[in-house]
Structure 1
Amino acid sequence: MTAAPLSAPQPTTTQQTQPTEQTQPPTGQTQRTPRFGVNYTPSAGWFHHWLDFDLDQVRADLDSIAALGLDHVRVFPLWPLFQPNRTLIRPRAVEQLVALADAAAERGLDVNVDGLQGHLSSFDFQPAWVSTWHRRNMFTDPDVVAGEAEYLRTLAAALADRPNFLGMTLGNETNQFSGDPHPDPDRITPAEAGAWLDRLLDACEQGAPGKLHLHCSYDAAWYLDDHPFTPAHAARYGAATAIHSWVFNGTQQRYGSDSAAVAHHAEYMIELSKAWAAEAHRPVWLQEVGAPQPHIPADRAADFTRATVANALDCPDLWGVTWWCSHDVSKDLADFPELEYSLGLLTNSREPKPAGLELAKIVGEVRETWTPPAPRTVGLVVDLPEEVTVRATCAPGGRYYEAFMRLLAQGARPTAVLAALSGDKNHLTARGITEVLAVEDVWS
């Protein structure tokens, strides 16, 4: 597996002596050391632990996470348990979430909270008031959306005064409810998806002003034709762009476990997202990435971890890396896809696994030696409209995807630029792009 150096080279020249407001990076985003965290999966009971919440067990889990040198956790309330009725948000459940956040603070861990769970590890968790006899579209029904907004506002407000509260993520990959291959999707248009994002992000801001509120999508937003959540939604709504990079999406199956495409997949998604970003230095959060077996053999998990993180760190404007996940899913629990049982950095007995030890080593190295990566000077043109419906060219096996990987193999450090912006000198200068290539140029 190929990896960039953990401390990337510095730019040899400054881009502008007096950056404009448009090109100035957000304060503290691009120059500080990237954050390292983990998606918290409780060692006992998985996310069903909310039914039998045990703060001592949570504290022990968080101790094992902090021992790896990580600085934050992403946590997952189960929506039906927290809001079992549209007008009932259980105070005791909210208190337990706050207790978890406070326990994390005691261990030096910041907390991001996903609200609408939603979808986790192949299981859907939706309250009864949006299903069966009460079946309503979760994205467009005005009563449902009002209930979702109040739920998110309530969670954000409960944590707003906690210094270790990073902000809200609307929910985990909620875009999967909006279209195929979901077995019972809530069909919407891209415009309706945008309106939903606006409404719910505003609710988070009302509850906790000024925090890092965002949303996340699985990779259908980037790769699947006609999916209603688009790259522009991912890269323009919320305070940061969230990337969920999974090589079981066809990357490993097409190219092989030891391929450059596997090692660079997260890096590719990070840079692809920048084509649609309205700000030149919008922060990008690699919010989910993991080493799924058998796509990544157990004896290669540490190598995959190092290569993936090193290549991601070579991307300017990376906010941080949050691994999936903290602890393995217990084999006592039934019906998970087999790969879900072994994704943890730690075992159910809270012992670090090879990938966990490797990530801990990387974290220590980065904090000792970090320098921000140089700008990526080669812009590979994404010849798609801003409001894209056809996007398979960007998916594994697509012509754009393979051109990007070919440039990497040639030693270049490409980024992505939309065709509509490829002749915009101010845009290119703000991003440090000095050479623009069409896909055809790569193959000529």
Structure 2
Amino acid sequence: MRFGVNYTPTHGWFHHWLDFGLDDVRADLDSIAALGLDHIRVFPLWPVFQPNRTLIRPRAVAQLVSLVDAAHERGLDVAVDGLQGHLSSFDFLPSWITTWHRRNMFTDPEVVEAQGAYLTALAGALAGRPGFLGMTVGNEVNQFAGDPHPDPDRITVEQAERWLRRMLAACERGAPGALHAHASYDRAFHDGAHPFTPAHSARLGAVTAVHSWVFNGTARRHGPAGTATEAHAAYLVELSKAWARDPHRPVWLQEVGAPAPSVPAEHAPAFTRATLGYVLDCPDLWGVTWWCSHDVDRALADFPELEYSLGLLTHDREVKPVGRELARCVREWRAGAPAPEPRRTALLLDAGDEESAPLRAVCAPGGAFFEAWARLAARGLRPAAVLAQRAGDAEHLAARGITEVVTVDEAV
């Protein structure tokens, strides 16, 4: 089991790549390592690293390598995201795919070729470095492919899969055998019209990545201490497994946090403990990476209010109550937590066609499947999820340890 955090630099946030200071990075990493965590996830800004379609800046790549080396010196492994992409409500796209050069980032042949070259270059520079875990194609790049983005690059399900396969192959060329993945925000699991699908998440790449944010309507419906809210991360982990072909495919909870006001600050430590309690009870969990390491500096303007308070530490590197609680939970787990038992009861999920899942709105907060799963969890039944297409497959159920399948109507 891995426990880590998404690294948000204290000096300049992710704009620190424009004014990179290794001493500041080292101080940040020292404060993260002191929490007892074992890895970080880092975010190069795409326009800074590849400002022209045929220019990948060597100095920027060298700075990334120095960050990875500094993390390793402090006992922290590093996962690197590539196409940034989208972070904390801001889009970071290079000028060669916007305005006068506007073209679809998922289908334009020259753009796709350049993206692949960039990912291969980053992965190649990091291949073999101690502590390098692997690449994530980008941070929630699926948000560029549909609503509610104000200027989406619309594509089909088939085009999304083709793009993902090509990007993952580019990562593999640079660093063969590393932990390469892709990450979608939860619209991929909730919106039947979205071109990035649960099957993509659960079948492409070395691990399934899920991002759990209870400001998606869950906390509003169920309150900050409701079972559906505290078990939301576990819900996404188990939901993703319904589409996995490998019954023991690892799932990485790549983002999870305690966002105010959905989770009031005074409740954040309790939410953290409860969230970890639920998700660590999921078999085949690769690890948990909290969002985020340090609060955003209030000297920086125009962030959504919640972004200024999501850190485990303050902008001055002081540990917050939520950071102390996370560190305490990690220590307790490492002291000898037993491996989770298989989840024997599965809730039947009918999302329509297995590949495109047009009915996946039932999985969103307020949807029939979501609410039924939450009711079962509140009764202590540790529900899994199984697609309707597989509910009668005895071999599949046995491989997952499922002995009982219940319908939404039966989950009362």
**Is TM-score (shorter-chain normalized) higher than 0.5?**
yes
In the other structure, the counterpart of 1:386 is 354
CA contact (8 A) 1:230 1:389 kept: no
Deviating 4+ runs (over 3 angstroms)? none
1:313 counterpart = 2:280 = yes
Deviating more after overlay: 363-372 vs 40-49: 363-372
Gapped runs of 5+ residues in structure 2? none
In the other structure, the counterpart of 2:69 is 102
Post-superposition offset of 1:265: 0.5
Structure with bigger RCO (C-alpha 8 Å, 6+ apart): 1
Deviating more after overlay: 295-304 vs 381-390: 381-390
Alignment of 1:19-418 (within 5 A): 34-384=1-351, 385-387=353-355, 388-418=357-387
Deviating more after overlay: 208-217 vs 407-416: 407-416
CA contact (8 A) 1:380 1:414 kept: yes
CA contact (8 A) 1:115 1:169 kept: yes
Post-superposition offset of 1:409: 1.5
- Distance, in Å, in 2 between the alignment partners of 1:442 and 1:298 is 33
Post-superposition offset of 1:275: 0.3
Post-superposition offset of 1:319: 0.3
Identity %: 69
What amino acid maps onto 2:206 in structure 1?
Answer: A
Aligned partner of residue 369 in structure 1, secondary structure: coil
Select the residue among 353, 367, 391 that pairs with 1:422.
Answer: 391
Gapped runs of 5+ residues in structure 1? 1-33
Deviating more after overlay: 235-244 vs 255-264: 255-264
CA contact (8 A) 1:40 1:75 kept: yes
Aligned partner of residue 410 in structure 2, secondary structure: helix
- Distance, in Å, in 1 between the alignment partners of 2:170 and 2:98 is 23
TM-score normalised to the size of structure 1? 0.92
Post-superposition offset of 1:390: 2.3
CA contact (8 A) 2:181 2:208 kept: yes
Give the number of equivalent residue pairs: 410
Aligned partner of residue 58 in structure 1, secondary structure: helix
Post-superposition offset of 1:72: 0.2
What amino acid maps onto 2:62 in structure 1?
Answer: E
Post-superposition offset of 1:253: 1.3
Aligned partner of residue 439 in structure 1, secondary structure: coil
Aligned partner of residue 73 in structure 1, secondary structure: strand
- Residues 141-195 of structure 1 deviation map (CA, whole Å, 9 limit, x = unaligned): 0100000000000000000011200000000000000000000000000000000
What amino acid maps onto 2:92 in structure 1?
Answer: F
CA contact (8 A) 2:350 2:359 kept: no
In the other structure, the counterpart of 1:10 is none
- Distance, in Å, in 2 between the alignment partners of 1:370 and 1:159 is 33
CA contact (8 A) 2:69 2:130 kept: no
- Distance, in Å, in 2 between the alignment partners of 1:294 and 1:398 is 23
- Residues 120-142 of structure 1 deviation map (CA, whole Å, 9 limit, x = unaligned): 00000000000000001000001
- Distance, in Å, in 2 between the alignment partners of 1:411 and 1:125 is 43
Post-superposition offset of 1:408: 1.0
What amino acid maps onto 2:321 in structure 1?
Answer: P
- Distance, in Å, in 2 between the alignment partners of 1:424 and 1:88 is 51
- Distance, in Å, in 2 between the alignment partners of 1:191 and 1:390 is 17
1:441 counterpart = 2:407 = no
- Distance, in Å, in 2 between the alignment partners of 1:275 and 1:300 is 31
CA contact (8 A) 1:168 1:212 kept: yes
Compute the RMSD of aligned alpha carbons. 0.6
- Distance, in Å, in 2 between the alignment partners of 1:46 and 1:129 is 24
- Distance, in Å, in 2 between the alignment partners of 1:198 and 1:411 is 38
CA contact (8 A) 1:407 1:442 kept: yes
What amino acid maps onto 1:413 in structure 2?
Answer: R
TM-score normalised to the size of structure 2? 0.99
What amino acid maps onto 2:354 in structure 1?
Answer: E
What amino acid maps onto 1:273 in structure 2?
Answer: S
Post-superposition offset of 1:440: 1.7
